[in-house]
């Protein structure tokens, strides 16, 4: 019984830690415009969009390197594309609920 109480008492601490990490990540993100992107990132994003509308673009630092996340709507889906500062696509995935709202 005592173990269960200790485990239950720890749940709010774990939740607070997760929320703190999420805030940290969000504070690290800065919204940028297409003309503020490095040329290699802009070229990759233009190629990835294929002329489709590009939504919000964010720059964030991951392990000391700039990473750009952009939302692209094409083919009836909203895609989240991550591109490093050299123009390499790091990740491409269909955005889900919360991602689409950003």
**Domain that includes residue 71, residue range:** 30-101
21 within some domain: no
Query: What pLDDT, on the 0 to 100 scale, is given for residue 28?
Result: 82
One digit per residue, the tens of pLDDT, for the chain of length 102 reads 555 455 455 555 555 554 444 444 456 899 999 999 999 999 999 999 999 999 999 999 998 899 999 999 998 899 999 999 999 999 999 988 655 544
91 within some domain: yes
Query: What pLDDT, on the 0 to 100 scale, is given for residue 58?
Result: 97
Query: What pLDDT, on the 0 to 100 scale, is given for residue 91?
Result: 96
The total number of structural domains that make up the chain = 1
72 within some domain: yes
87 within some domain: yes
1 within some domain: no
Query: What pLDDT, on the 0 to 100 scale, is given for residue 23?
Result: 42
The CATH number covering residue 92 comes to 3.10.450.360
Residue 26 buriedness (CB in 10 A; 0-12 / 13-18 / 19+): exposed
pTM exceeding 0.85: no
What's the angle, vertex CA 60, arms to CA 59 and CA 61, rounded to 5? 135
34 within some domain: yes
**How many CB atoms are located within 10 Å of the residue 56 CB?**
12
What does the block give as tokens for 11? 């749940």
Query: What pLDDT, on the 0 to 100 scale, is given for residue 96?
Result: 80
DSSP 3-state of 56: strand
Nearest-CA neighbor of 16 among 24, 26, 5, 27? Answer: 24
């Amino acid at each position: 019984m005592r173990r269960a109480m200790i485990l239950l008492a720890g749940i709010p601490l774990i939740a607070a830690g997760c929320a703190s990490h999420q805030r940290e990540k969000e504070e690290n993100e800065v919204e940028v415009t297409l003309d503020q992107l490095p040329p290699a990132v802009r070229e990759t994003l233009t190629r990835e969009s294929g002329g489709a509308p590009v939504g919000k673009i964010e720059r964030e630092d991951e392990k000391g390197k700039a990473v750009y996340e952009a939302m692209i709507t094409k083919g009836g889906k909203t895609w989240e594309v991550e591109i490093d500062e050299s123009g390499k696509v790091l990740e491409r995935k269909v955005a889900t609920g919360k991602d689409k709202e950003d």
